[in-house]
Structures are given as structure tokens and as C-alpha cells.
Structure 1
Amino acid sequence: MIRLFSIAAGLVFTLVVMIAFGVGAYTAATEEVVKGPEKYFHLENKTPAGGWSFDGPLGRWDVAQLQRGLKVYDEVCSACHGLKFVAFRNLAEIGFDEGQVKNYAAAKQVPGIDPNTGEATTRAGLPTDYFPDPYPNDVAAAAANNNAIPPDLSLITKARKDGSNYVYSLLSGYGDPPAELAQQFPDFNTPPGLYFNRYFKYLNIAMPPQLTPGQVTYDDGTEATVEQMSADVAAFLTWTAEPKMQQRKQTGWAVIGFLLFATILAYLAKQQIWSAVKPKKAK
């Protein structure tokens, strides 16, 4: 009896699954897909004029660009975004000497503990400290940003598809909605507290435009256009996400060269070892 009941229950379960699958397949095949405005007006990421110096197997960091990108992050992005995986001493890798690293760190306030009272306080940074978070916790971050928590930027270019181009496009992609968008989608609007950006997947983004021409004064005299600042900070954030990329590429070429040499050596050794062995003639 129990066996018959189990078989019946199994058949009923199988039947229900098959019916659900059939209904789902029929609905997917016949239901008209409603395409929103992002389907037509969201643009693919763009690449800055001249491309990236670090692209390709022979790519190298443009140290001057990385330093400009740090300046943009420092004066614009750091008000809302942290770099919790980057230490001040890492700046030596982008051309800062020991004194510059110490001075840069000392100009920052990092969380600390008062040795006399044990209470939380702040202190001047040391080269071994990491970039501080601008907010004490996520609650404070959300309260200051219209309930949107700004992400940490240490790994942002690895966390987003086409990361370097994504950051560059997003920062330089703000503007007014095109007229044809309102014509095709009369219900579309940009709610208060959001901003239109054609490089953001959903078109409306919580982060307001951050860059304006001349906002940053570069030490090397480079003109601080929106596109230039966007490219510089995108390159800097690519470095924070993968600081050893250039060394990795150089190691890769060395490994390829060694394998090529070892292959040739093995072939010559094989020829030498088997040179005295004469193949048997077929009868």
C-alpha cells in the first residue's frame, strides 16, 4: 500500500512539473516582451581617445596619468567613496618617493584610539595605514546620499563589466534625456534625487554629476576637461584594482620565452638521442 502511494505521489509530482514547464515554455514563446527605454537609449561603454596605455599584452602604466587620477580621486571622489584595500605606502608604486608618501599620509585623518581614555578618535595617517572611509558606517553613508550607499572603489573596475571604460563612460556621460526618448516613452522621467546618464544601465542614477571643466588643477599643466579627468581617475582605479598588472604581463612574456626555449631544446635533444637509431625497412 505504501509503495503504491509513493508511486502515485511521484506521478502526480512529475505531472505537475511537466505542466508547469509546458505553461512556462508556451508563455515565453508567445508573450510579447515589453522593452523599456533602456533597451534603446542605453549606450555601450566608450573608450577615451587614444585608448589606454595599459591595454594589450605590452601595456604599461602611464605613471603621470595615475598621479593625475589620484588627484581627481582625492579632490572629488574621496568625499563619498573609500579605497579600503589601498595603503598609502602603495603610492610608491606610482612614482611617489618616501617623503611624498609620508606627507600625503600625514595630511589624512584615519581612525585611531586615544591611548589615555581608550575612546575612538582620529589621528594623522602613517604610510602603513589604508585610505580611510568617508563614513563611519553604511547607515551614515545612506543618510548622506539619498539612501544610496556609495561603493568602495578599490576594486570597482574589476567588479563592473568592462571596468575601465565603464568608469570613464559613466563619469563623462551625464546630460539631458534626448528628445526622442520622451516621444517614444512618454511615461519615462527622471525622479527627484536621480540623474540621467546614458551609460548607466537603467538611465537614471543616484550619483549626481561629479566633474566640471577645470574642477581640478593638474600639477603637470594638463587641461582638466571632463573627459580628461574621467579617463585619469578610471586609469587610477584600474591600478588600485590590479596594481601588479604590469609585472604580471612582463612575467608572462618571460614564461612564454622560457617555454619556447625549452621546447626547442627538447626537440634538439630528441634529435640527438634518436639520431643513431635507424628505422627498420619495410619488407
Structure 2
Amino acid sequence: MPAFRSLRALFLGLGLMAGATPALAASEAISLPDTRFSFDGLFGHFDRASAQRGFQVYKEVCSGCHSMHLLAYRNLRQLGLSEAEVAGIAATVQMMDGPNDEGQMVERPGRASDRFKSPFPNEQAARAANNGAYPPDLSVITKAREGGADYIHALLMGYGDPPAGMQIADGMHYNKYFAGHQIAMPAPISSDGQVEYHDGTRATVDQMVTDVTQFLTWAAEPELEERKAMGVKIILFLTILGGLAYAVKRKVWADVH
């Protein structure tokens, strides 16, 4: 029976922890709150101050379990960090490099050109540290989950006590926005002041969740602002072209009755 419960907990938790898109049961539909972000809408843009705070939340809270292997430290320059700040952030981690002249792998301080360091050397080590569940890479997590940023925000805010009579499997946690409402990942952001923001912003749970969601959305779609700007230009061009075409048509056919 203990083995059965462990397997049941593992399969229930794989929806998020293994990186698979959670599938809702046919009889249940979870309605996500419509969270308003600065990047929403046709003219939306990233709040870089929020995204910088979100990176701090990722670094101090999420990076202990979740990798972001598609990002390099130099990409943080796009968030407004200076070259010196990026170099300082990269230098706080030790990266494996080599082999050296003796054929040995050696550790060195990180560089801006390095990709974000993974918290585990391989998938097996990650599973061993998380009761068999595999924490997904967060590089494109907002694009990999139905609901995008709204889902990530709702999920991180959705932890709480289960309803009366609901049985939670061993090693699982209640989350009202997760399919099945049982998730292997404990609440990563659980109390005000969990992170001390460098810019002095008050770190409430909602503020930290909003900021890290902003950062994760930027990480998944760093070209979002350029894409929206190009879309606006194309719409304006087609509008003007359509007006000119209509004016020419009226002029050409003006004498035809």
C-alpha cells in the first residue's frame, strides 16, 4: 500500500513537475482569474522594474529546483541591467568548464555568456531530490501552459487548505487552480517578505507572484514588444493603403453611372 500511494502521488504531480500540460477532467473546467499585466493588449509592454524584481524572485526562490537553460546571463541586459550588474550576477555561480591541460573538469566563476546554471546536474538527480517528480524548465513555461501568464499567476496564488472531506495524497498539496487540485510542488511563494527587494518595493505574496510571472513571460517572449510594434505598423500601413485604393477606385470610376 505505501508503494501504491507513492506511485499515485507521483502520477498526480506529474502535470506540473514533469513539464506535461495539465489536462482537465472532462467533467471539470477550472476558470482562471483574468489578471491584468502590463504586457496585455495590442499596445502592451513589459514592466522592466517588475521583471527585474521577478528575476530576483526566480533567483532566490525558484532556481533551487527549476532551470532556465534557454537563457544566458547576458540576456538580462534587455531588462535594463548594466553590463557590470550582469557580470556580477553571473560571477555568483560556479560553472563546470574544461577539460584543462591535465584533462580535468574544473570549476570557474560564471560569465555573462553562460546560460543560467541548472540546479541539478541531470534529470535523475532532479527526480531524486523531488520524490521522483521532475521540476520543469521555466524558460518558456508561460507559453507551454494553457492560460499562459494567467495560469502561472493563478497557480502560484492557488495554494490553500483543501475543502472539507477532500483527501490529499501523501506528498501532495492542494491547489484550486491545478487540474485535479493536487500538486506535488509545495507553495514556493508562501509569505510576505520572503524576498527583500533591492528597490525597496514591499514584497507581498501577490507582488512577488506578479513580478515572477512578468519575468517568466519576458523570458518566454522577449520579442513580444517588437512583434506588437510591427503589428501596429502593418495595421496602419494596410489602413492607409486601403484608403488610397478606395480613393483611386472612386476617381477611376467617377464617370461611370
TM range (shorter): 0.7 to 0.9
Higher mean C-alpha displacement, 74-83 vs 170-179? 170-179
CA drift of 1:46 comes to 2.2
Distance 1:255 1:205, change over 3 A: same
Tell me if structure 2 keeps the 8 A contact 1:47–1:168. no
Q: CA deviation at 1:101?
A: 1.3
Question: Partner residue of 2:51?
Answer: 66
- Aligned mates of 2:31, 2:205 — CA distance in 1: 19
- In 2 relative to 1, CA 54–109 (structure 1 residues): closer, same or farther, beyond 3 Å? same
Shift of 1:38: 10
CA RMSD between the two structures = 2.2
1:53 aligns with 38
What's the offset of the Cα at 1:122? 2.9
Judged with a 3 Å threshold, the aligned counterparts in structure 2 of structure 1 residues 37 and 89 are, in CA distance, closer, same or farther, namely: closer
- Note the C-alpha offset of 1:157: 0.4
Aligned-partner Cα distance in 1 for 2:148–2:175: 17
| Aligned partners of 2:100 and 2:106 also within 8 Å | no
Match for 1:199: what amino acid? Y
Q: Tell whether 2:247 aligns with 1:260.
A: no
Q: What's the counterpart of residue 249 of structure 1?
A: 228
Q: Distance in 2 between matches of 1:203 and 1:117?
A: 53
Aligned residue for 1:31? none
Corresponding residue for residue 118 of structure 1: 103
Aligned to 1:229: 208
Percent sequence identity is 44
Structure-2 separation of matches of 1:164 and 1:215: 21
| Cα deviation, residue 37, structure 1 | 10
Query: Which stretch of structure 1 is more off in the superposition, 189-198 or 240-249?
Result: 189-198
In the TM superposition, what is the alpha-carbon distance from 1:220 to its structure 2 partner? Answer: 2.0
Checking the alignment, whether the CA contact within 8 Å between 2:25 and 2:179 is kept in structure 1 is no
What residue in structure 2 maps to residue 168 of structure 1? 153
- Counterpart-to-counterpart distance in 1, 2:49 and 2:138: 20
Query: Could you list the per-position Cα deviations for residues 136-171 of structure 1 after superposition, in whole angstroms to 9, with x for gaps in the alignment?
Result: 111000000010000000010000011211111111
| Structure 2: runs of 5 or more not aligned | 1-23
Alpha-carbon distance in 1 for matches of 2:195, 2:33: 23
Tell me the distance in 2 between the aligned counterparts of 1:47 and 1:121.
Answer: 48
Q: Which residue is equivalent to 1:220?
A: 199
* C-alpha spacing 1:162/1:270, structure 2 compared with 1 (3 Å): same
Paired position in structure 2 for 1:30:
none
SS at match of 1:202: helix
Answer yes or no: is the 8 Å Cα contact 1:110–1:123 preserved in 2: yes
> Which has the larger displacement, 224-233 or 109-118?
109-118
Measured at CA, do residues 157 and 220 of structure 1 come closer, stay the same or move farther in structure 2, by a change above 3 Å? same
Q: How many residues of Structure 1 are paired with residues of Structure 2 in the alignment?
A: 233
| Cα offsets for 1:88-144 (capped at 9, x unmatched) | 111111111111111111222233214223333332221111111111111000000
1:100 is paired with a residue whose SS is helix
Query: What is the rounded CA distance, in whole Å, between the counterparts of 1:171 and 1:192 in structure 2?
Result: 20
Q: Which residue of 2 aligns with 1:8?
A: none
Spell out the pairing of 1:150-229 with structure 2 (5 A cutoff). 150-179=135-164, 182=165, 188-211=166-189, 212-229=191-208
Q: Partners of 2:25 and 2:238 in 1: how far apart?
A: 52
Unaligned runs of 5+ in 1: 1-35, 183-187
Which residues in structure 2 correspond to 1:99-138 (within 5 Å)? Answer: 99-138=84-123
Question: Amino acid of the residue matched to residue 225 of structure 1?
Answer: T
After superposition, give the CA deviation of every residue in 1:178-233 in whole Å (9 maximum; x if it has no partner).
22xx1xxxxx4212211111111111111111112211001222211111111111
Higher Cα radius of gyration: 1
